[in-house]
Amino acid sequence: MSAIFVTPAEVNSLSDSHVIIDIRGHDEWRREHISDAHSLPLEDIKPGCLSDRSLSQIDTVIFHCQSGMRTEKSAEKLIASVYPAKALIMQGGLNAWKAAGYPVTTDRFQPLPLMRQVQMTAGALVLGGTLAGATLASTFYIIPGLVGAGLIFAGATGWCGMAKLLAVMPWNIQKK
Active-site positions read 65
Please give the distance of CA 76 from its chain centroid, rounded to a whole number. Answer: 18
100 Cβ neighbours under 8 A, 6+ residues apart: 7, 8, 9, 12
- In angstroms, rounded to a whole number, what is the distance separating the alpha carbons of residues 58 and 66? 27
DSSP string, 35-47: TTEEE--GGG--T
Rg (CA), the chain: 20
